[in-house]
Amino acid sequence: MVRLLAQPSDPVTVVVRGHAGTDLGVSPTSLTFTAGNWDESQTVHLTAQQEATEDYTNDVVDLTLTAVGGGYDGEEETVRVTIIDRDERPGAVTISIYDGQAGESDGTLRLPIELSRAVDRTVMVQYASSDVEAESVADYVSSRGIVIFEPGATRGAIAMTVIDNEVPEPTETFVVRLSQAQGATLGRSTGTGTIRDDDGGAAVVAVEDAEVLDEEVRFRVVLSPAQRVPVSVAYRTRDGTAKAGEDYEAASGVVTLAAGTVEAMITVGLLSGGLDWEAETFTVHLVSSEEAEIATAVAEATIQSTKVLEEEILAAYAARFLRTSSAQVVEALGDRFRFGADGAACAAGERAELARLGPAGWDPSLGELLGGCRMSATSYDGAFRVWGRGAYRRFHGRDGWTLRGEVTTGMLGADYQWHGGWLAGVLLSHSQGDGSFTLAPESGEVSAGMTGVYPYVSYIGAGWEVWLSAGAGRGQAQVRAMKTDLASWFGAMGVRGRWVSNGRIGLHYRGDVLVTEAELTGPAVTAEAYRIRAGVEAHARIRGRLRPYVEALVRRDGGSAETGTGLEVGGGVRVDYPAWGLKGDVHAQGLVMHTADAFTEWGVSALVQVGRRTEGMMVRVRPSWGPARSMYGRQTIQDVVPVGADAYRTEVEWGYGVPWKDGTARSIVGVTQMSQGRVYRLGGEFHPADPVSFSVFGLMHGQATLGVNVRGMLQY
């Protein structure tokens, strides 16, 4: 009889093999179990064939039953079949005992005993019982004695008393052995008695769907009814959408329910670093048990990241906000030590002038318009300086989701310079970041603000300069309804020096290191970022009018946001012929390599100007391509190219200047061509005095309405 121990998920085919080439016939050789008849026993008929050559010995055949499909793939069971040779040598008589079985409530278990043929004499044989799993006194009454066959008799039985102990227990066995036969020889000398427990049914085990905890999954194995002996069940895990080694730890083994207990746990460890936002599943399979039947063999666990979505978004955004705002501070300090020029400048008017050429829906923020503005004022003795700067930057990252943001930073610094090259000061900054995230089907807004204080010091030596800064910031970050405090720590240093410098050739080196960290106190999240940069600048002067230059920069980014190494190169040529009124500049730069996926940056620009900017005729042509103009630039929107717009444009401008009071006045006609349209300008510039300039332009967009742009500038 063949049957399954648990309901399959699909039809199961059981194939019988191992009888080929033997004296055993098998029919049928294939059985099919479905979800409707899986618990019904099916019969395989075994037939002993007559031997071609009589050898008067018993044959043993091992049949292999292999299951395929329905979750039983790979399951095998081996059954040993003994073909008893009842043929006798001429004149020989054998006596044999066979197996028997009974339930506890039956009271008696009978083991058949037979002679191979009838004889005209009395045949006797002794017998004795012996324990296997069943125990005498507790499960059956042990017995020993003599079986007598009268002349002509061939069949008999040994009756064993079975004890109904009313204790649930698995099926148990004992054996009865024959010895000292008289009037015959021993054939099969051992018979097995099988006692079935019918006290409330056989022991049954089942596994239940999992309880998922933070670091592990627990499957409960239930036994019914309780047993007075331990029950062991073999199990193993199997992948679903969750993968062993990535999401959970593969497990297999044996779970044991102690005597008298009805449940036990199978524990599977989770790999928290591999958990995904989307729910994934894996299963535990009960494979086999010798002491109990398996009712439910498969249980499922559903796992996914237990962290709150808002916590993960805050951690990802905080890392990028921190890296961006800290980089803006480093750029500001680097420019302070590199340039240090007095005056004020801001290109907000030019940005607003061409904002309408951006793609539909592009509405530049105040930070976008004011990014890159700077000011500086120095005391009369040149020792004390107050300076300021605005910076704006956008970022776009992927970390299992899409994350976009922009950071605007305003900075105000004050420092004092001593004779001997030392300078010390403090920088006060405030950064405001706004962004959005998308994780289907979730999306939302995220923001952060931080105010920081950063003392700094620098020293200028003979042909080199080094600076150092450290500080801390405090602020808040928010996503949806979750709002938390933000605390940051910052450290940076930079160096710039001259390798070669004379009237014709110059070679400079520069580099900086930035390390920063922040803690979100609400969800207890830590974000960190670091950046290392090193580069060189080289230029040459040919006859004082032609100046080619080249620059290169290597950078390494790391921490909680994107990481990778990149190489940027750039170069150009500057031309200046004052006698001809000719000035030109061609510049190109690009990110030629970076290990971060899909990270690119490049730019090409040119400037040709004929005539002086003050009096007389002036013609200027300026084509440009790409989003960046200099690798050491502030990465703001300096050149009025809206983010997402086509990065190519050409500007042409004609002007004529005449003396006007103590300054100059110039009429200007210009046109700017971009892929989104064309802008025409007509107006004039007035410079009544050196520190003051004023301009009025009429604007006409090829696809929009007319407008007026008024701009003034005061340098101090």
Give the helix/strand (H/E) hosting 627.
none
How confident is residue 332, by pLDDT bands cut at 50, 70 and 90? confident
| Domain residue ranges of the chain, discontinuous segments joined by + | 1-87, 204-303, 309-714
Judge whether residue 709 has pLDDT over 60. no
Percentage of the chain with pLDDT > 70?
A: 73
In contact, 703 and 713? CB cutoff 8 Å = no
Q: What does the pLDDT average to over 82-92?
A: 67
CATH 2.60.40.10 holds for 1-87? yes
Q: Are 334 and 533 in contact (CB under 8 A)?
A: no
Question: What is the pLDDT confidence band of residue 382, given thresholds at 50, 70 and 90?
Answer: low
The pLDDT value given to residue 149: 95
Residue-level pLDDT at 450: 92
Band the pLDDT of 706: cuts 50, 70, 90: low
pLDDT of residue 626: 52
Mean per-residue pLDDT, 348-376: 48
493-516: average pLDDT: 85
pLDDT of residue 174: 96
Q: How confident is the model at residue 178 (pLDDT cuts 50, 70, 90)?
A: very high
Burial class (CB in 10 A: 0-12, 13-18, 19+), 265: exposed
Asked whether the domain spanning 309-714 has the same topology as the one spanning 204-303, the reply is no
Q: Tell me the mean pLDDT in the region 90-107.
A: 86
d(CA 511, CA 493): 9
What pLDDT score was predicted for residue 55?
Answer: 63
Residue 21 has pLDDT above 70, yes or no: yes
Q: Specify the pLDDT at position 616.
A: 66
Are 634 and 391 within 8 A, CB to CB? yes
Query: What are the distances in angstroms from CA 45 to CA 29, 31, 406, 597?
Result: 9, 12, 79, 66
Name 580's Cβ contacts closer than 8 Å, sequence gap at least 6. Answer: 610
- Residue 341 binned pLDDT confidence (cut-offs 50, 70, 90): very low
Top-confidence range, 103-107, 212-216, 631-635: 103-107
Q: What is the mean pLDDT of residues 186-194?
A: 94
Taking residues 628-648, report their average pLDDT.
Answer: 38
- Dist. CA 585–CA 603, nearest whole Å: 14
Residue range 309-714, CATH number: 2.40.128.130
Q: For residues 348 and 371, what is the distance between their CA atoms, to the nearest angstrom?
A: 8
> What is the C-alpha separation between 710 and 706, in angstroms, rounded?
14
Q: Find residue 374's DSSP bridge partners.
A: 345, 389
Around Cβ 701, how many Cβ atoms within 10 Å? 17
Contacts of 90 (CB under 8 A, 6+ apart): none
pLDDT recorded at residue 713: 47
- 581-622 pLDDT tens trace: 666 777 676 667 878 765 555 555 555 555 555 566 677 666
Question: Are 445 and 415 spatial neighbours (Cβ–Cβ below 8 Å)?
Answer: no
Least confident of 181-185, 424-428, 657-661: 657-661
Q: Does residue 577 carry a pLDDT above 80?
A: no
Residue 60 CA from chain centroid, whole number: 57
Tell the CATH topology of 204-303. Immunoglobulin-like (2.60.40)
* Sign of the CA dihedral running 479, 485, 491, 492: positive
In the predicted model, is pLDDT for residue 276 greater than 60? no
pLDDT above 70 (res 664): yes
Does the structure show a pLDDT above 80 at 630? no
pLDDT tens-digit series, residues 528-563? 888 898 999 888 887 767 888 888 889 888 887 668
- Residue 344 CA to residue 25 CA, distance in Å, equals 104
> Given pLDDT bands bounded at 50, 70 and 90, which one contains residue 353?
very low
Residue 377 vs residue 681, higher pLDDT: 681
**What type of residue is 375?**
M
First to last CA, the chain: 104
Residue 362 has pLDDT above 50, yes or no: no
Q: What is the mean pLDDT of the chain?
A: 78
Q: In angstroms, how far is CA 50 from the centroid of its own chain?
A: 67
